[in-house]
Amino acid sequence: MFKKVSFLTRPTLARQDAPLPWQGRSERKVEGALFVVRRDFEWHEDEAGGLFHHPARVGAMRRLLVCPPDYFAIEYEINPWMRRSNAVDSTQAVRQWLQLMQVLEQDVGVVLERMKPVPGLPDLVFTANAGIVVGGKAVPSRFRYPERQREEAYFEDWFRGQGYEVVALDSGSYFEGAGDLLGFSDTWFGGYRQRSDIRVFPTLSGWFHREIIPLELVDNRFYHLDTCLCPLSGGELLYFPPAFDHYAQEALAERIDPVRRLVVPEAEALRFACNAVCVGKHVVLPAGCPETESLLTLHGYNPHPVLLDEFMKSGGSAKCLTLALD
């Protein structure tokens, strides 16, 4: 059922939600029409897994997909961070990656699934862009740049090999996986304009029965949503507002009350402080972000800084190097 609205004759439209307990109310004016939207702002413990790095149930082990950086290098330039002249120190990169794995396994207690690296695919190491995995279903990415499109088949094969039901998006639109789709248990956020296409979100929303709030990314240094926004397990949001247009900033501000919005300072945002892996109360983030660490500590989280500057040469950090699995 829907209401047909004519702006000339029916200036007011009130939306009736299901009778849920709600703790917030937003009123929005769109050109003379008042949309009154009742909203449930309660945060739930994650039950669906998938997009979230914290365990589905207390005591359950979180599984993450990773790919060793054997062939990691800067072989092309598809974001402002990449400079072919700025060569990767492979030994350092391997050392940093192993350090990250150690923190994830030993300090955070996750289970790592290692994918076989492929020569000629330097960015396969950034498994966050493999796709998304939710409820036994995997949606492989559709990369915007041909340089990374060659990765699609390998990720898809890996998902099939693990027994996931692979659901494919139309080849006409771009979607860069968990790099551009993050969220809480009932609300997901979709980054668009830089890499992913806004049109994929209604499709994904239909498949997974989740609300997906599209957020426009306006700064090409923050080219994926996970470079500037990180939902935390307790319902807080770690983010860098100037990476978003003002509608997205307002949508986030309306959705999440101010005490739960942890704003990262610019200098640390540029070190990819938001590219963090949150599992329960553990947050693994790039080293060199002391203010972010303090913010996290203040909110009861346990920050684990890891030096990942070799991966920053490619515009990636902790979160980009992992994909949450079921």
Partner 1 sequence: MMHDQETVLLQGHIIDSLILAKVLDTILMMGGMFDLEDVQIGKTREEPSRARIIVRASSAKLLGEILHAIQPHGASIESERDCRLSPAPADGIFPDEFYATTHLPTQVRVGDQWVEVERIEMDLGIRVDSVGLTARTIPMGEVTSGDLIVTGREGVRVIPLQRPRDRDVFSFMESQVSPERPHGQIIGDIAKRLVQLRTGFREGKTDSKVLLAGGPAIVHAGGREALTWLIDEEFIHVLFCGNALPAHDMEVDLYGTSLGYRHAAGRVVPHGHEHHLRTINRIRGIGSIEAAVKSGVVKTGIMAACVRRGVRVVMAGTIRDDGPLPGVITDSVEAQAAMREAIPGIGLAMLVASTLHAVATGNLLPASVPSVCVDVNPSVPTKLADRGSFQAVGLVMDAASFLRELARELGAGL
Positions marked active-site: 224, 320
Name the residue with tokens 């702002």: 41
> Is the CB of residue 318 less than 8 Å from the CB of residue 56?
no
List CB contacts of 247: < 8 A, sequence separation 6 or more: 216
Applying CB under 8 A, does 245 fall inside the site for partner 1? Answer: yes
The rounded Cα 58 to chain-centroid distance in angstroms is: 22
Q: Which residues of 7-34 are buried (b: 16+ CB within 10 A; e: fewer)?
A: eeeeeeeeeeeeeeeeeeeeeeeeeeee
Interface with partner 1 in residues 247-286 (CB under 8 A): 247-248, 250-251, 254-255
Q: Which stretch binds partner 1 (CB under 8 A): 7-15, 113-121, 227-235, 296-304?
A: 7-15
Interface with partner 1 in residues 10-49 (CB under 8 A): 13, 15-18, 26, 28, 30-31, 33, 35, 37, 39-40
Query: Measured between alpha carbons, how far is 135 from 49 in angstroms, rounded to an integer?
Result: 7
Q: Which residues of 72-81 are buried (b: 16+ CB within 10 A; e: fewer)?
A: bbbeeebbeb
Residues that contact partner 1, how many (by CB under 8 A): 46
Considering only CA atoms, which of 184, 125, 151 is closest in space to residue 318? 125
Applying CB under 8 A, does 165 fall inside the site for partner 1? Answer: no
Interface with partner 1 in residues 204-233 (CB under 8 A): 205-206, 209-216
Which CB, 78 or 213, lies closer to partner 1? Answer: 213
Residue 50 CB, shortest distance to partner 1, in Å, is 15
Residue 219 CB, shortest distance to partner 1, in Å, is 15
Q: Binding residues for partner 1, per CB under 8 A?
A: 1-7, 13, 15-18, 26, 28, 30-31, 33, 35, 37, 39-40, 186-187, 192-193, 198-199, 201-202, 205-206, 209-216, 245, 247-248, 250-251, 254-255
